[in-house]
Amino acid sequence: MPNISVQHLYNDYRLAKEYPADYTLDFFSKNAILFNNFSAFKDGEELVLFVQLAWQHLNALYSKGRFNDTADNAVKYLQIIDNEIERLNVSNTKDKWYFGIIRLKGMAFHQLQEYKISYSVFKLLTEHDPENEDYRKWFNYSKYAKKMWISKTIYFSCFALFLVQIFFKKYIPSFMVRMSLDGIALLGIFGTLLYESYAKRSIRRKKDD
């Protein structure tokens, strides 16, 4: 454990009257060695201060578009925090700052197009707080994005059917079979377009509600 305490670092950070992203990133850059050495805490109160500092760092990284750094640090911080919550038996420290870290983790992974991870994160958050509109919004975005690989697969398969019908026509002598391939391809493309349109409208409606 470093000589400086979490309380001292927290008080030092709070000396500023405002906390713009540049100030926060500069503060954590100057104190990186100290902050990165915190891995165990004497009690829940000290852990809470660490959680708040971790949120400030992640929020500043995210606001600057540093999504890889946000995701990596969120994973690291949550591992430390969750281990200490269990060790100290202080589950009551899972407050708005704690869930704020999880939210930033999900948002960062979404921006990195890691939709399976962001989906699981916001599924957890919506189960924790079903009435939270922000959680539900991000959950719907992630669910929609996660399913887009299915649409891409259908598009690829349908265009492949068209190519087979065009370039290997002589190997498919039956007119009905060729028309069936075209029909399946057109139906797949049309159905996927309808689904995407419906999904996008649903997300817009939820956003406007």
Q: Could you read off the pLDDT of 149-180 as tens digits, one per residue? A: 666 677 667 677 666 666 666 555 665 655 56
What does the buried/exposed string (b/e) look like for 103-128 if buried means 16 or more CB atoms within 10 Å of the residue's CB?
bbbbbbbbeeebbebbbebbeebbee
Domain spans of the chain, in order of start: 6-112, 148-208
Does 192 score more than 90 pLDDT? Answer: no
Report d(CA 127, CA 151) in Å as an integer: 27
Where residue 84 falls (left for φ over 0; alpha for ψ -120 to 50; beta otherwise) is alpha
Q: What is the pLDDT of residue 49?
A: 97
Q: What is the pLDDT of residue 77?
A: 97
Q: Within 13 Å and on the Cβ side, how many CA atoms surround 98?
A: 18
Q: Does 204 or 81 have the greater pLDDT score?
A: 81
Does 193 score more than 70 pLDDT? Answer: no
Does 43 score more than 90 pLDDT? Answer: yes
Q: What is the pLDDT of residue 164?
A: 62
State pLDDT tens for residues 101-154. Answer: 999 999 999 999 898 999 999 999 999 999 999 999 999 888 877 776 666 677
Confidence band (pLDDT; 50, 70, 90) for 4? confident
